[in-house]
Chains A and B, each alone.
Chain A
Amino acid sequence: MIRCEQIKVTFNPGMATEKRALRGVDLTIPQGEFVTVIGSNGAGKSTLLNTIAGDIRCSSGKLSFDDRDVTGLSAAARTADVARVFQDPLAGTCGQMTIEENMALAYGRGKRGGLKLALNERLRKLFREQLARLNLGLEDRLDAQMGLLSGGQRQSVSLLMSALQPSKILLLDEHTAALDPKTAALVMEITDQIVAEKQLTVLMVTHSMRQALDHGTRTIMMHEGQVAFDLAGEERSNYGVKDLLNLFAQIRPDGEELDDDKLLLGA
């Protein structure tokens, strides 16, 4: 379970470039819920994810996982609970290292790295089994350099890596945005599989309204650093992309045009 209480994040406080990225976010996500997060650019979606991951410290407020206060924990310390997949396929893996080395790193997530060899036959077998699920033929290329893989392949491996260690929370930051539609669909399919299998609590930022409604069990929209609306259950299942757009217009009473094409057209 993730609980955010009045979380505020301000960048460059007191300076001309001051930016109040999160302005008091209250959000409770029960164990096993899959929340999709939408909102226009600069609404605070990624800031929220990065704050939960620990990359960004809250200026004020409280964050807890399963009623444990984690507000003061570093990003590295939170990885025992949190796994992540980034938007940029290059960000989530080490291009200079091999597939098996990358997976070994992910396998060590949340543990203390010791002076034991990072790879052994038992792990290689596990990695091969996991890679076989992708149907990309990667299970026979364990010692291939990660940098030789395509973006979609790297993102698929990133997803597998995020699930190698038991974690409770999975943070997906537009992890299909940089992929072609076919690969994106494959990656989403694997995402749903892994989430269902591991009973994860998920926050997925997406630019695509369609994706936000088709996946997960709850949708929130961020606007100007706050949760503008929160859809779940039956209400959500009756919603279409049009209804979402209407809602979007309502929270912008100044008649501001929706200028984000991706948000409108996203598949």
Chain B
Amino acid sequence: MSLFSFMGTLEIGFIFGLVAIGVYLTFRVLDFPDLTVDGSFTLGAAIAAALIISGVNPYLATLCAVFGGAAAGLVTAWLNLRFNILHLLASILTMTALYTINLRVMGKPNLALITEPTVLSPFESLGIPNMYLKVIFVGLVVLAVGLLIAWFLNTQYGMAMRATGANPRMAQANGIVVNQKIYAGLALSNALVAMAGALFAQTNGFADSTMGIGTIVVGLAAVIVGESLLNSRSMLIIVLGCIIGSLLYRLAIALALNADFIGFTTSDLNLITAVLVGLALILPQLRREWKARKAAKGDAA
């Protein structure tokens, strides 16, 4: 793998670290499987790209993308909490609606940002080569967000959110308004994912209406890789695990695609991802079954 593609891999790995943290918040903290992210990733990219092209400051554009993502999360939460639509289905509805909304936001299926200013523009005068600058910038932003989220999950509010997902009845008996925590959690999660989309559009120079497909699986893969490597109860380690998981996942994919003797091409990416995530989910289960069988044998002997 060339240095250039290695740096590109790190950069995307960091950006999807944000997605992984968002997915961790919904799937693990709130126990709310949320597929909205496939739409909100693109939404973030679309809002940022459209605003930047129309002359808005890139930082302001990114902020708007973050709020757009939060709004998408709120819609999913509303469909689920107000109308009792199954969480999975509610998120699929929002995701489907977002596909059209994203096209409307962009005005066409694809927007190029190559010549536009981005969040990186203020730092270009520092003289750091662009390929390093991108990784350093994205890495620092994602680490800062990660630290912030880890801190948040240890606050009274964040702990109440964790209790909401782990045991809603107990949470309620302790005065926690569970619905409010679910709204907040989905908004936060999708805001992070939209931020990832906005950063992705700016570092890669485009926004595309189909760029969000499979975001959820990639995010989940990163969460699972992180969890299986760092088994901890500490919020800081878990959140950092999401970022590390995302980086490792990207590196594994890049290596698989680069290994000529296997013969994979970029179009095989989704199958590789699905197989990797599938394995990560299947192996712990098989290990449990294997252990149980061993224990049963031990008892019989």
Contacts and interface: CB of A to CB of B under 8 A. Distances in A.
Interface of A: 53, 55, 74-77, 79-80, 83-84, 86, 90-98, 101, 104-106, 108-111, 113-119, 143, 145, 161
Chain B binding surface SS class: helix
Nearest to B177: A76
A94 B157 contact: no
A34 B178 CA distance: 30
A176 B152 CA distance: 36
Given A74-B177, A79-B173, A113-B176, A108 B156 contact: yes
Nearest to A92: B170
A172 B292 CA distance: 37
B174 A118 contact: no
Nearest to A78: B175
Contact of B233 (A110, A145, A161): A145
Nearest to B180: A76
Contacts of A116: 155-156
A114 B156 contact: yes
Interface residues of B, number: 24
Contact of A97 (B163, B173, B177): B163
Contacts of B159: 97, 101, 104-105, 108, 113, 118
Contact of B166 (A96, A104, A109, A110): A96
A119 B154 CA distance: 8
B175 A108 contact: yes
Interface string B150-164: 011011111110110
B228 interface: no
B13 to A, nearest CB: 28
A87 B169 CA distance: 12
A75 B152 CA distance: 25
B266 interface: no
B163 A76 contact: no
A117 B155 CA distance: 4
Contacts, number: 92
A108 B160 contact: yes
5 A-B pairs with least C-beta separation: A79-B175, A113-B156, A94-B166, A118-B159, A109-B174
A77 B174 CA distance: 10
Given A79-B173, A84-B173, A113-B176, A93 B167 contact: yes
A206 to B, nearest CB: 19
Contact of B174 (A91, A95, A98, A108): A108
Interface string B238-281: 00000000000000000000000000000000000000000000
B171 interface: yes
B152 A97 contact: no
Contacts of B173: 53, 75, 79, 83-84, 86, 92
Contact of B156 (A53, A77, A94, A115): A115
A248 B176 CA distance: 39
A94 to B, nearest CB: 4
Contacts of B163: 94, 97, 105
Given A97-B166, A105-B159, A110-B175, 18 more contacts: A79-B172, A79-B174, A86-B173, A90-B167, A91-B167, A94-B167, A95-B166, A97-B162, A101-B162, A105-B174, A108-B159, A109-B175, A113-B157, A113-B159, A117-B155, A118-B156, A118-B159, A161-B174
Contacts of A96: 162, 166
